[in-house]
């Protein structure tokens, strides 16, 4: 169980770094002030927050490994936990304040798209693993015949 938790935390950290890098690349094509001016003034804080949010998104994927629920319930639970994590980090690090509550729905939508990207990525990763196992099983059954 500890290995699974560690795996998702490390993958979450890696994905968080990827999204920080993507934000840097995106910022090169737009103005820093248009994205998140309060965080680009303190980039280290922004990077830590971004990595923590994505770590929360990826690490809550442990639901898919430890539960035997229907896939729809797993997806809904993961989405709820991940966006709950976004709100906790958002209010905890001052991304969301009472003066900018209107930005929360847009952030939830954009982070839902990030979750969709993560789900699709892991779907294809699992599909690749299953195809590899099926190929080995087919080769093994052909050798036995």
**In the prediction, which pLDDT does 128 show?**
95
Q: Which helix or strand (DSSP H or E) is residue 31 part of?
A: none
**In the prediction, which pLDDT does 137 show?**
93
Which residue ranges in the chain fall short of pLDDT 50?
A: none
Q: Phi, psi at residue 94, to the nearest 5°?
A: 80, 15
Measured in whole angstroms, how far is the alpha carbon of residue 116 from the centre of its chain?
9
End-to-end Cα distance, the chain: 38
Q: What is the DSSP letter of 95?
A: S
Find out whether 54 and 16 touch, Cβ atoms under 8 Å: yes
Find out whether 131 and 123 touch, Cβ atoms under 8 Å: no
Whole-number Å distance between alpha carbons of 1 and 7:
10
Please, is 103 exposed, middle or buried when counting C-beta atoms within 10 Å of its C-beta (0-12, 13-18, 19+)? middle
**In the prediction, which pLDDT does 132 show?**
95
Q: Phi, psi at residue 101, to the nearest 5°?
A: -65, -20
Q: Is 97 helix (H, G, I), strand (E, B) or coil?
A: coil
Q: Taking the CB of residue 116, how many other CB atoms lie within 10 A of it? A: 12
Find out whether 71 and 93 touch, Cβ atoms under 8 Å: no
pTM: 0.67
């Amino acid at each position: 169980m500890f290995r699974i938790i560690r795996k998702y935390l490390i993958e979450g950290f890696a994905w968080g770094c990827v999204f920080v890098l993507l934000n840097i690349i995106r910022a090169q094509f737009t103005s820093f002030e248009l994205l998140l001016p309060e965080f680009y003034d303190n980039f280290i804080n922004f990077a830590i927050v971004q990595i923590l949010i994505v770590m929360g998104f990826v690490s809550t994927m442990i639901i898919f490994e430890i539960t035997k629920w229907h896939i729809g319930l797993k997806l809904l639970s993961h989405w709820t936990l991940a966006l709950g994590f976004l709100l906790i980090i958002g209010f905890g690090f001052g991304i969301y304040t009472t003066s900018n509550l209107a930005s929360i729905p847009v952030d939830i939508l954009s982070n839902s798209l990030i979750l969709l990207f993560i789900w699709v990525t892991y779907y294809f990763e699992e599909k690749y693993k299953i195809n590899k196992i099926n190929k080995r099983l087919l080769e093994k059954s052909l050798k036995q015949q």
